[in-house]
């Protein structure tokens, strides 16, 4: 029975690794919504770099889960925190802590369930939940960091606009300042 579970875990791990690689490749080839040059010009973190850090941190921890007991503990910590590293890099600390906390709480609940019931279905649900959570975080970290950068730039920016206006006895130009 134990050998069958180990084979199932290895096969599931390889499948998750392959799916993560495909997702990683798709997200890195997307065009940036917020300009890369704009973020670099203002010393702000890049959304693309944040997505890369999250994906690499997650992908590096997956093989550790299947190497041995000590490495599996390190891999488990990497699976829980890896997808959130990009949020931390990008300054979205709240979102990174929430997603890491949700993955950790889910893992504790599933480990408690698996301790009582040694089933392949429970293990598959646990790994599937972690994989979906990681994919979601890697997919959304770029947008979150770019949105934070835009908000930061908007606070720094002073907008000056000229607007023509007309009145009954003439016309003029109005100067609008916003910051």
Q: Tell me the pLDDT tens digit for each residue of 8-57.
A: 677 766 667 666 666 655 555 454 444 444 556 567 888 888 999 999 88
Q: State how far the Cα of 96 lies from the Cα of 88, in Å rounded to an integer.
A: 6
Q: Tell me the pLDDT tens digit for each residue of 105-132.
A: 988 888 777 777 766 677 778 778 888 8
What pLDDT does residue 32 have? 46
What share of the chain in percent tops pLDDT 70?
70
Cβ(91)–Cβ(115) below 8 Å:
no
Q: State how far the Cα of 79 lies from the Cα of 71, in Å rounded to an integer.
A: 12
For residue 144, pLDDT beyond 70: yes
Q: State how far the Cα of 135 lies from the Cα of 102, in Å rounded to an integer.
A: 14
Pick the closest to residue 85 from 114, 45, 112 (CA basis): 45
H/E element, 162:
strand 159-167
Cβ(127)–Cβ(82) below 8 Å:
no
Q: State how far the Cα of 129 lies from the Cα of 156, in Å rounded to an integer.
A: 40
State whether the Cα torsion 105-108-111-112 is positive or negative. negative
Segment of 76-85, 108-117, 151-160 carrying the highest mean pLDDT: 76-85
| Vertex 134: Cα angle to 25 and 24 (nearest 5) | 5
Q: Where are the domains of the chain?
A: 2-178
Is pTM, for the whole model, over 0.95? no
């Amino acid at each position: 029975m134990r050998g069958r579970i180990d084979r199932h875990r290895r096969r599931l791990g390889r499948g998750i690794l392959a799916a993560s690689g495909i997702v990683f490749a798709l997200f890195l080839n997307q065009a940036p919504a917020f300009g890369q040059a704009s973020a670099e010009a203002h010393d702000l973190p890049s959304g693309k770099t944040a997505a890369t850090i999250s994906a690499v941190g997650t992908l590096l921890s997956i093989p550790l889960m299947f190497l041995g007991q000590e490495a599996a503990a390190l891999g488990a910590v990497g699976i829980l925190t890896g997808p959130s590293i990009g949020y931390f890099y990008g300054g979205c600390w709240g979102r990174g802590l929430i997603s890491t906390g949700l993955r950790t709480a889910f893992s504790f609940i599933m480990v408690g369930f698996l301790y009582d019931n040694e089933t392949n279905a429970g293990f598959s649900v646990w790994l599937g939940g972690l994989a979906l959570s990681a994919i979601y975080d890697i997919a959304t970290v770029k947008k979150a960091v770019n949105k934070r950068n835009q908000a930061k730039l908007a606070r720094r920016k002073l907008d000056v606009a000229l607007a023509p206006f007309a009145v009954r006895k003439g016309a003029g130009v109005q100067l609008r300042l916003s910051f």
